[in-house]
């Protein structure tokens, strides 16, 4: 209960901050007709806050390796949020569920303190279960979360041990295995239609160890789907019962889609990770620049020494 109370009080402060709406236009776009492009990014400073004073002059943008002039910069806060919580219920998360479940509950409560926000809930192991589609109604989400349980393999005797006469082949969809990339791809297509509501932030919070043992789809397919649907993936890689965390995979999908990663090892560290996600969802910048059509590889940096320790998140394509 101490962990739950701490998480509640901290996130209440963050959500209260995120309900104030401000948009600073620091330069009107002057691009030729049809060539203006916009890139959203979030920034967390050394104190764990989202700074309100980033200026156009602080931003350096490279496209396909070439520095591009920044035409304008807007800061946006309290943009309505559509968030899908994806919670891993495979055997490898058996011990983690005891604190990912209450963390997810608090996250739902705080986001839905604003009636404009919506949350969806998905559990996954060898298959995807859409527990609730996007809704602003807290009660059915909480009830669905209470029903989420670990999926066990046949012959499972506890402690990660499965008694079987033969080891199952990789990518076999036995109960208790993990179809991570199939889950992300399917969830995005089910929860976030490609032609979605304008003016809403789309995001996924992924609670998992990042290991995939049963997907047919590849990681790149999940990343491509997230980019096409305009969804940022925020991954919390959580160790459980001696299973390792696939940090590289979780970092890759988060970095490419404009989200962030955290690897909490203690319950208290989940608080800090969720606070950062709340900060990022509640405040973002939009940089404007001139660009021709075509594939773009993006790199964004803050050159002001004031933000030397700041952590940026933005989509890389």
Domain spans in the chain, listed from the N-terminal domain onward? 81-281
For tokens 């920044």, the residue is: 70
User: Is the model's pLDDT at 160 over the cut of 70?
Assistant: no
Nearest-angstrom CA–CA distance, 286 and 66: 19
CB 252 within 8 A of CB 216: no
pLDDT band at 174 (very low <50, low <70, confident <90, very high): low
Chain-centroid distance, C-alpha 113: 19
Averaged pLDDT for residues 247-273: 90
State the pLDDT at residue 5.
55
**Do 202 and 82 meet the contact criterion of CB atoms below 8 Å apart?**
yes
Structure tokens at 203: 């995001």
Higher pLDDT, 57 or 161: 57
pTM over 0.85: no
The encoded tokens of residue 290 equal 């001139």
In this prediction, residues 12-31 reach a mean pLDDT of: 45
Average pLDDT of 31-44? 86
pLDDT at 223 over 90: yes
Q: Under a CB-based contact definition with an 8 Å cutoff, are residues 203 and 231 in contact?
A: yes
Query: How many Cβ atoms sit within 10 Å of the Cβ of residue 34?
Result: 7
Q: What does the pLDDT look like over 283-300, one tens digit per residue?
A: 899 999 998 777 889 999
| CA separation for the pair 136, 108 (Å, rounded) | 9
The residues near 128 (Cβ < 8 Å, ≥ 6 apart) are 122, 179, 182, 183, 186, 187
Q: For residue 64, how far is the Cα from the chain centroid?
A: 25
- Residues facing 82 on adjacent strands: 118, 202
Q: At what angle do helices 97-111 and 138-147 cross, to 10 degrees?
A: 170
Rounded to a whole number of angstroms, the distance between the first and last alpha carbons of the chain is: 42
Q: pLDDT for 80-99, tens place per residue?
A: 999 999 999 988 888 888 88
Residues 83/200, Cβ–Cβ less than 8 Å:
no
282 near 21, Cβ under 8 Å?
no
**Domain covering 81-281, topology:** Rossmann fold (3.40.50)
pLDDT over threshold 50, residue 24: no
pLDDT at residue 16, rounded to an integer: 40
> Do you know the residue count of the chain?
317
The side-by-side arrangement of strands in the sheet containing 59-63 is 66-68, 59-63, 298-302
pLDDT reported for residue 282: 87
């Amino acid at each position: 209960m101490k962990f739950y109370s701490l998480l509640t009080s901290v996130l209440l402060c963050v959500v209260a901050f995120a309900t104030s709406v401000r948009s600073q236009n620091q330069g009107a776009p002057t691009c030729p007709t049809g060539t203006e492009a916009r890139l959203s990014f979030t920034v967390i400073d050394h104190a764990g806050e989202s700074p309100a004073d980033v200026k156009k002059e602080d931003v350096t943008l490279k496209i396909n390796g070439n520095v591009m002039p920044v035409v304008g910069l807007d800061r946006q806060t309290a943009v309505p949020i559509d968030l899908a919580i994806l919670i891993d219920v495979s055997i490898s998360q058996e011990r983690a569920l005891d604190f990912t479940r209450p963390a997810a509950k608090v996250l739902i409560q705080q986001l839905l303190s604003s009636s404009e926000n919506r949350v969806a809930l998905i559990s996954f192991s060898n298959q995807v279960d859409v527990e609730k589609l996007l809704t602003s109604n807290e009660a059915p989400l909480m009830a669905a979360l209470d029903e989420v349980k670990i999926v066990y393999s046949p012959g499972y005797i506890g402690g990660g041990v499965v008694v079987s006469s033969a080891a199952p082949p990789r990518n076999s969809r036995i109960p208790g295995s993990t179809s991570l990339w199939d889950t992300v791809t399917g969830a995005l297509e089910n929860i976030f239609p490609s032609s979605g509501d304008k003016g809403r932030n789309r995001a996924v919070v992924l609670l998992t160890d990042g290991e995939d043992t049963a997907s047919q789809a590849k990681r790149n397919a999940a990343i491509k789907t997230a980019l096409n649907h305009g969804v940022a993936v925020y991954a919390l890689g959580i160790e459980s019962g001696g299973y390792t965390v696939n940090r590289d995979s979780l970092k890759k999908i988060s970095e490419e889609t404009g989200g962030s990663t955290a690897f909490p090892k203690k319950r208290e560290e989940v608080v800090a990770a969720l606070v950062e996600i709340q900060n990022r969802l509640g405040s973002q910048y939009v940089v404007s620049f001139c660009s021709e059509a075509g594939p773009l590889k993006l790199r964004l940096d803050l050159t002001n020494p004031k933000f030397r320790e700041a952590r940026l998140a933005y989509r890389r394509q």
